[in-house]
Structure 1
Amino acid sequence: MSDITPERGAQNLLANCAHATAGDRLLIVYEPPEYGYFDADSVEIVSRVAKSMGLSVETVDVGFNPDTPHLPVDLLKRFETADVILFLARLGDQLRFSQMPKGKKIIVSFALSREQFGSGFSNGHHDAFMELKAEINSVLNTAQEVRFTCPLGTDVRGRPEMNLDPSGDTSILRFPMSVFTPVPAHSFSGQVALTFLTGTGSKYYECYTTEFTHPVLARLDQGRLTGFEGHPSDVARAETHYDRVAEQFEIDRNFVHSWHAGIHPGCGYPWDMRENYERWGGAAFGNPRILHFHTCGAYAPGEISWNVIDPTIVIDGTTYWQSGRFYADRLPRGSEILSRYPCAAGLFAHPDTDIGLRKTG
């Protein structure tokens, strides 16, 4: 894909996701870079492109509140005078399953930096990935069996029981669009191979991530965690992690809510995941190399995520993901969609396989 720039990524967000037009009022709700999540450049890039498109732009710093995220009254008043509200802040992600003001275009950006705005992740036409999402949802909605595996021993199967009305997904707009609608886990069973546990970005807590010395198998039975298998010290670490988080938030410890896989081959993560698991969890999950479960809590997105690396996903006998590579052209309308969006087709031909994994030792 030629001419990939941060400015084109911002224009894709504003024109193709927000459908903003000259005269619209854009409010950018941002988190400053000292929190180590969003960079210092994204607000400036989006503001500059918005003004070039004839939009009026206001910005407001909301900082970061890990414990009690909420929409302050003064911020809600500013929402009233905006046509488009863009969150370059974790507040939008924290509240994405909550009630946002009605009648507003509210967008949460999962592009966190100049690098990501200037990559295929943000430059791939937004409509292409909206159409691919709808196509995958349709396939899952009629599927009789889904089975997914991974090189470390994941083996899960079930029949999807999709909820494709608006209550089945977050109501705000996401940019870039990088996953399909979460598949409820209550009809899935098997084992999930894990090398770490980390949060979901819903709440933030001490000991947010637990790494294992050897892969651990989480046992899943009809949407319930029934236990862990593996090295005894790793199993103990996993059980303790679940006990602590469930007790802290008084939530259903063993509830496994849903899962989804990444659909955006431009969703690279060019940093070491271990340097900031919170940032990794909020930015990398859209890569097809990651299948992501929401667990611990009977609500989306739960408080502990399971991340399966390099999944193979077979739906009614057709392999759509093979060892972490998503073959969108195997969808019923996949080839037709990609033919209309050559920028997206180029990303599928040359996927970004960097998801922040770094060899240790």
Structure 2
Amino acid sequence: MSYALNKTMLDGGYGRLDHHAMQMMKIAIDEVTISACHIKVTCPNGTNFEGTTIAPSTHRGEVIINRFPLGISQPILNDGFCGKAVLTNYLTPTGSLTYDPEYLAIDTPVTAHFEGNRITGLTGAPDMVAAVEAHYADVADRFGLDAYNIDSWHAGFHPLMAYEGSATADPLRWSGTAFQHQRILHFHTCGTGPPGEICWMILDPTVLIDGVALWENGKLHPERFETTGRVLDAFPELAAAFAAPAAPCGIDR
């Protein structure tokens, strides 16, 4: 599946960056995250959760699809994590099933509290919390899903992924493309089968792997780990791209 939306994206750094190098970087990132003893994730809006990784079973691993360009790490099962995620901007679909309305605009932040794979509560402005609850109930009822299940989360890592448009112009198009951006981490929720049906898009995450930030304020730092650092050493073009990543992701704080 190609995630390049147009000729400009395909002809630019996003489409032309060495695909094999990106495959090697993904393998390295996955090794770092899956082997971690402790992971903590925060964001400027107040997201704060932590825990340990659980090796995915056969039926809860990655979606079997060849992505191009490649820019998303392996999903990390949420079973071993607890804390909160602050929901902003939009709740969007995962692309698994289609439904209408396709997304929900989050006008004021809503905090989702969770323990393992269960959403235990939603807090925020009463009208916005009610809208989020109604959206979850609607999607879950349509397909017979467990509304408040969280399957997994993962973060984008493509250094040259740039979403030049505005998310507000087309939230569905934005979420289905910009998820590969380093500045975006997203959750898969609503439903027990991956990838769920409702995404939480978290902007500018910091992901601490055993105390060391692999992502820091929405920027990937592969040079901080031996495994990912070896990939940079092997592919100078990739190292240059990570040293000067693209900035636009469709949303400003």
TM range (shorter): over 0.9
Cα distance in 2, alignment partners of residues 163 and 255 from structure 1: 16
2:241: which partner in 1?
347
Alignment of 1:215-254 (within 5 A): 215-254=109-148
Moved more, 229-238 or 136-145: 136-145
Q: Which has the larger radius of gyration?
A: 1
Structure 1 spans left out of the alignment, 5+ residues: 1-107
Q: Which of 55, 62, 78 does residue 162 from structure 1 map onto? A: 55
Q: Give the SS at the match of 2:187.
A: strand
Q: Give the SS at the match of 1:193.
A: strand
Q: Give the SS at the match of 1:175.
A: coil
- Structure 1 stretches (4+) deviating beyond 6 angstroms? 164-167
Q: TM-score, normalised by structure 1?
A: 0.67
Alignment of 1:292-311 (within 5 A): 292-311=186-205
Given residue 239 of structure 1, which amino acid in structure 2 is its aligned partner? E
- Tell me the matched-pair count: 252
Q: Give the SS at the match of 2:67.
A: strand
Q: Give the SS at the match of 1:329.
A: helix
With over 3 angstroms needed to count, the CA separation of the structure-2 counterparts of 1:333 and 1:164, relative to structure 1, is farther
Given residue 292 of structure 1, which amino acid in structure 2 is its aligned partner? H
Cα distance in 2, alignment partners of residues 166 and 127 from structure 1: 26
Question: Does the alignment pair 1:198 with 2:92?
Answer: yes
CA-CA distance at 1:119 after TM superposition: 2.1
2:69: which partner in 1?
176
Given residue 99 of structure 2, which amino acid in structure 1 is its aligned partner? Y
Q: TM-score, normalised by structure 2?
A: 0.95
Question: Does the alignment pair 1:152 with 2:34?
Answer: no
Cα distance in 1, alignment partners of residues 194 and 35 from structure 2: 23
Cα distance in 2, alignment partners of residues 137 and 262 from structure 1: 12
Q: Which digits, 9 at most, give the CA deviation of each residue in 1:163-201, with x for residues without a partner? A: 286961122211111111100111111100111211111
CA-CA distance at 1:205 after TM superposition: 1.4
Question: Does the alignment pair 1:188 with 2:90?
Answer: no
With over 3 angstroms needed to count, the CA separation of the structure-2 counterparts of 1:167 and 1:245, relative to structure 1, is closer
Cα distance in 2, alignment partners of residues 244 and 204 from structure 1: 13
Alignment check: 8 A CA contact 1:135 1:331 kept? no
CA-CA distance at 1:304 after TM superposition: 0.3
With over 3 angstroms needed to count, the CA separation of the structure-2 counterparts of 1:295 and 1:228, relative to structure 1, is same
CA-CA distance at 1:141 after TM superposition: 2.3
Q: Which of 294, 315, 325 does residue 219 from structure 2 map onto? A: 325
1:125: which partner in 2?
18
Larger relative contact order (CA 8 Å, sep ≥ 6)? 2
Identical-pair percentage: 37
